[in-house]
Structure 1
Amino acid sequence: MTLYIGREASKLWKRVCAETTTEIYLLAENWKYLLAGLIFQYVHGLAARGVHYLHRPGPILQDVGFLLLPELGQDKAYISETLFTFIFLSFVLWTFHPFIMKSKKIYTVLVWCRVLAFLVASQFLRIITFYSTQLPGPNYHCREGSKLATLPRPDSVVEVLLINFPRGIVYGCGDLIFSSHMIFTLVFVRSYQKYGSRRFIKQLAWLLAIVQSFLIVASRKHYTVDVVVAWYTVNLVVFFVDKKLPELPDRTSGAALLPLNTKDKDSRTKEENHKLLNGNSGDPADWRQRTQVNGKTLEDGNTGHPDTAMNGV
């Protein structure tokens, strides 16, 4: 039993080391895209912080979702955030599964490059939208009478740049159309739909996205239009941006992404030259035994009739 555990631990450690080497190579080639995506996450938070200064509380707008869905109440608003946190952490952990799992179809760095591209495009459209028109926030801390509904004038630029993370993000107002929670949820679900392997998890992910939509409205964090616009905008963004990006390499073929070193290249060149000198190509289908008759080389299929070939019939 101890020997088996030790052997499996050794295999796992080798798998982690090999995957780490590959991912470091990919990170060295794609770090600019990852860094740009992460910087834009800060820019998005900064924009949401800025629109909070412009927000003016007012009467809650008439909303079909508010009429159909019962209000969860301020004491149960955490349910929506809990589900979103579960979806977020589950997807992050899944993107790192190639380090420990045998069955793997993705490269972590390349998947996050695509995910950040989808997020940046969607968030850019979101910034334009909520700065175009500021609606009175339906959330409890954004209503009339709340001290957090409008931020006081900042004393310095540093106060704005710090964005008071994470409190400034959680208790933001004015950044309504369209829902940021649904951007992350739909991008994650669409990514797993394409690169995931478990059909049950794909179906569960879409179900959780629908439940998340209802909980956002029921907790009065967004109007129904914020969720509806997110559904078709994010899906369209992912559809069109995904067409512009290069497809991920298929790991099932076993092809390595790491470049060959000089020694490997020399050995492979010598092996190919040796095959050519012996009359064999690199294709295993050509490695067939041939019989020479009267100076002519015959295939295996003709070796059964040497006399016929010799008589010219």
Structure 2
Amino acid sequence: MTVYIAREASKLWRKVCMETSVELQLLAEKWKLLLTGLMFQYIHGLAARGVHYLHQPGPTLQDLGYTILPELGRERGYISESLFTFVFLSFVLWTFHPFVYHSKRFYTVLLWWRILAFLVASQLLRIITFYSTQLPGPNYHCREGSKLARLPPPESITEVLLINFPHGVIYGCGDLIFSSHMIFTLVFVRTYHKYGSKRFVKLLAWVIAIIQSLLIVASRKHYTVDVVVAWYTVNLVVFFIDKKLPEMPDRSTGSQPMLPLNIKEKDGRPREENLKLLNGNSVDTADWRQRMQVNGTHGDDGNHVHSESAVNGVNR
């Protein structure tokens, strides 16, 4: 048992090292795009902070969702944030599972490259809409009489640039149309729907997105229109941008993964073994299939039929 555990631990460690090596090379190629996407997250926060200076509290607008759903109130407002935090953290962890588990269909760097593209496009549209028209905030801290509803003019540019994180993000007002929480939720759910492997989790993810929508309205963080607009805008943005971006290689089909040609052999092992390790296949010597010699060259049994056909002049 001890020998088996040690062998499996050694295989897992080699797999993690190989995955890390490949992902780092992809990161070296895509780091500028990824950094741009991350920097835009700060710009989006800065824009949301800026519109708070323009916010004018007033009577809550008539809203169908408010009529149907009772208000959670200040004491239970954490329920919506707790669910969003669960969705966010669980999705981030899932995107890194190829480093450990064998059931993988994507490269983490390339996946986050696509995610950030979806987020940036959606957030840019959101900035345009909430600066076009400022609505009176429906949340308790944005209503008339609250000290947080209005922000005094900033005393310095530093005060604006620091955006009072995280307090300024949690208690922001004015950045309503459309919901930022739904942008992240829908982008994550659509991404898992395409690249995830568990049908039950896909169905559960969509159910959670619906529940998240209802909780946002019930907690009065947004008007119903903010959530409705997010549902069709984000889905359309993801649909069209996904068509423009080059598709990632599907690692679950059993085809050769996109392993960079210049990757160094680990522990003196041949590149073919590294390919198997990245695909989650066994790399034990006993599992290797016997190689057949064709015209002085060697190929795996899986390629023998193709090679023999080529020798005989048959095109399969």
Q: Aligning the two structures, in what range does the TM-score lie when normalised by the shorter sequence?
A: 0.7 to 0.9
Match of 2:14, SS? helix
The residue aligned with 1:259 is 261
The residue aligned with 1:234 is 234
> Would the alpha carbon gap of residues 233 and 194 (structure 1) be closer, same or farther in structure 2, given more than 3 Å must change?
same
Deviation at 1:8, TM superposition (A): 1.6
The residue aligned with 2:124 is 124
The residue aligned with 1:86 is 86
Rounded to whole Å, the distance in 1 between the matches of 2:159 and 2:211 is: 36
- What is the correspondence of 1:1-313 to structure 2 with a 5 Å cutoff? 1-252=1-252, 253-260=255-262, 284-287=305-308
> Would the alpha carbon gap of residues 5 and 298 (structure 1) be closer, same or farther in structure 2, given more than 3 Å must change?
closer
- In the alignment of these two chains, the number of paired residues is 283
Q: Which amino acid aligns with 1:130?
A: F
Q: Which runs of 4+ in 1 moved over 6 A?
A: 261-265, 274-278
Rounded to whole Å, the distance in 1 between the matches of 2:147 and 2:167 is: 14
Rounded to whole Å, the distance in 1 between the matches of 2:122 and 2:143 is: 27
> Would the alpha carbon gap of residues 261 and 80 (structure 1) be closer, same or farther in structure 2, given more than 3 Å must change?
closer
The residue aligned with 1:271 is none
Match of 2:228, SS? helix
Deviation at 1:262, TM superposition (A): 10
1:109-152 CA distances to partner (integer Å, 9 max, x unpaired)?
Answer: 00000000000000000000000000000001000000000111
Q: Which amino acid aligns with 2:306?
A: A
> Would the alpha carbon gap of residues 277 and 13 (structure 1) be closer, same or farther in structure 2, given more than 3 Å must change?
closer
Match of 2:56, SS? coil
Q: Which amino acid aligns with 2:205?
A: A
Rounded to whole Å, the distance in 1 between the matches of 2:202 and 2:64 is: 29
Deviation at 1:254, TM superposition (A): 2.8
Match of 2:79, SS? helix
Rounded to whole Å, the distance in 1 between the matches of 2:175 and 2:19 is: 40
Rounded to whole Å, the distance in 2 between the matches of 1:41 and 1:142 is: 23
Q: Which amino acid aligns with 2:86?
A: F
User: Where does the alignment leave 5 or more consecutive residues of structure 2 unmatched?
Assistant: 272-292
Q: Which amino acid aligns with 1:209?
A: A
Rounded to whole Å, the distance in 1 between the matches of 2:310 and 2:236 is: 57
Rounded to whole Å, the distance in 2 between the matches of 1:260 and 1:101 is: 24
Which of the two has higher C-alpha Rg? 1
Deviation at 1:3, TM superposition (A): 1.9
Moved more, 247-256 or 88-97: 247-256
> Would the alpha carbon gap of residues 160 and 191 (structure 1) be closer, same or farther in structure 2, given more than 3 Å must change?
same
Deviation at 1:73, TM superposition (A): 1.0
Q: Which amino acid aligns with 2:256?
A: G
CA RMSD of aligned residues (A): 2.5
> Would the alpha carbon gap of residues 288 and 254 (structure 1) be closer, same or farther in structure 2, given more than 3 Å must change?
closer
Given the two structures, how large is their TM-score scaled by the length of structure 2? 0.85
Identity %: 70
